[in-house]
Amino acid sequence: MLRKEFIKLLTLTAAGQWLSLQNAFAKNWLDPFQSNTDVRYVKAGEQQYDLLRQGFNKRIQKFPSVIAVCANVTGVQQAVKLAKRLNIPVSIQSGGHCMEGFSVSQGGMMISLKQMNQIEWIDKDTIRVGPACTLSALYNELLPRQKYLPGGSCAGVAIGGLTMGGGYGLMSRKFGLTCDSLLSVNMVDGMGNLLDSKSDPELLWACKGGNNGNFGVVTSLTFRVHAAPKFLRQYKFRSFQVNTERANKLMQTWFKYSEKLPNECFSAFVLNRKTVYILLTQTGPDHPATKRFIQEIKKQSDKQTQTSAQPLAQALRNYYGRTEPLYFKNASAGLYQGYADVSNVIDRVMENVSDSAGLIFQINTMGGKIKDVDAEKSAAFPHRRFDYFSELQAYWDQPTQAKSRLQSFQKIQQLINDGKQRPQYRNYPDIEFAQPLVQYYGDSLPRLKKIKQRLDPENLFRFEQGLA
């Protein structure tokens, strides 16, 4: 009996080991998403999945089949090659601030670059950064050295997504778009190859305002940095309980005098319900056109406030905004050369904004260094001829408010477009645009499509409003 039990025990032990090996083999065979030190795969139900997939916009709820959290270039290559082998669509998230959530792939693979956020000094005027480096981290590094890279003002926005669509901010009129300071990129293409734009000028051109995740995963960006302005001064003008007629007159005055502002100035016209808010920032010395702007806007405004000249690092923090996810929709509402481009619809737009809770219509100054002829030749960004960029915004606190806000938003967008396919800024997309690729990329679109065919021939990187 002892001998029989011993043989039985050996048999059961061997069977158990064989079953364990079979299970391990089956797991690796059936589940290809095996994590390692270069890339960690996270699926629904696993720890951090919901945190990783949720971007800045709580309105957007998408669920990737898998999230590839890449620690380095090798991890990106592994993830891309695996997605290619499995034939699943790939989206790319650097900061998660895409306003329509294109950085999250519904049912596909989302490549998360959040760990790739390094900043490296090449020399005193050149830096190499990871795509997930946020603007606040970047400014914290640059400004103590009296250096600056033109970018936006939202603290949590990552440099990768900002640059690929152009990159617009408070000092673009002085320094150009973010992409205009881009010297080179490294990118993993749709085949998993690591490319260097130093040997591929077309890649660099495309990444200056025309990539947006269309061709591959940018793993590092090298920029020329500029001498930072020493200070920033801010002026705010407010007019309360305005009717449409008064708001329109304020806008005409703003257009008239903002077009003459020096490149060191930025200005915005903002209509929030029945309040008109005009912002002016200044990083240079006083200029006759600046003084005239202040005088004329002050005449028509109810209240004016201004700050003293603040050190740039301190002043920029006033524009960092909230960092936690919000319910909102924010989209480009057309690029203009002047008041005439909106004069036939602006009264109806203002009436609807005034009657709609939570909605804001804003126009910002462009022009200046953005119009640089050399930059136009070297970058895919197609909208340099315009002096103004407008945006429409809607905010709410509860999911139940979404339907009414979005209906009002879309009604106003239709009024603004007025049946035309106005040029639009790709970093502020709207899922409702009728011909988005034409509107975002303009004359650069045919060239971008050829680059797409070369770098991602199987259309691995595919998402709403992506190049195909």
Residue-wise DSSP of 378-424:
H-----TT-SEEEEEEEEESSGGGHHHHHHHHHHHHHHHHTTS----
322-354: per-residue pLDDT in tens? 889 999 999 999 999 999 999 999 999 999 999
Alpha carbons 156 and 323: distance in angstroms, whole number: 6
pLDDT > 70 fraction of the chain, expressed in percent and rounded:
94
Kindly report the pTM of this predicted structure: 0.92
214-250: per-residue pLDDT in tens? 999 999 999 999 999 999 999 999 999 999 999 999 9
How would residue 31 be classed by pLDDT, with cut points 50, 70 and 90?
confident
406-429: per-residue pLDDT in tens? 999 999 999 998 878 899 999 999
Quick one: pLDDT at residue 384?
A: 97
Q: Are 219 and 303 in contact (CB under 8 A)?
A: no
Please give the radius of gyration of the chain, using alpha carbons only, rounded to the nearest integer: 25
Which sequence spans correspond to the domains of the chain? 39-112, 119-228+443-455, 231-439
Q: What are phi and psi of 76, to 5 degrees?
A: -65, -45
CATH class of 231-439: alpha beta
CATH topology of domain 119-228+443-455: 3.30.465
Query: What integer is the mean pLDDT of 76-82?
Result: 98
How would residue 24 be classed by pLDDT, with cut points 50, 70 and 90?
very low
Q: What are phi and psi of 79, to 5 degrees?
A: -65, -45
Q: Quote the tokens at residue 24.
A: 């391990």
368-379: per-residue pLDDT in tens? 999 999 999 999
Cα distances (Å, whole numbers) of residue 312 to 146, 304, 317: 9, 22, 9
Q: Is the pLDDT of residue 1 over 70?
A: no
Q: 119-228+443-455 and 231-439: same fold?
A: no
39-112 domain in CATH 3.30.43.10?
Answer: yes
Q: Where are the alpha helices (DSSP H) in 259-307?
A: 288-300
Burial grade of 115 (CB within 10 A; 0-12, 13-18, 19 or more): middle
Q: Is the pLDDT of residue 90 over 90?
A: yes
Alpha carbons 112 and 39: distance in angstroms, whole number: 10
276-320: per-residue pLDDT in tens? 999 999 999 999 999 999 999 999 999 999 999 999 999 999 999
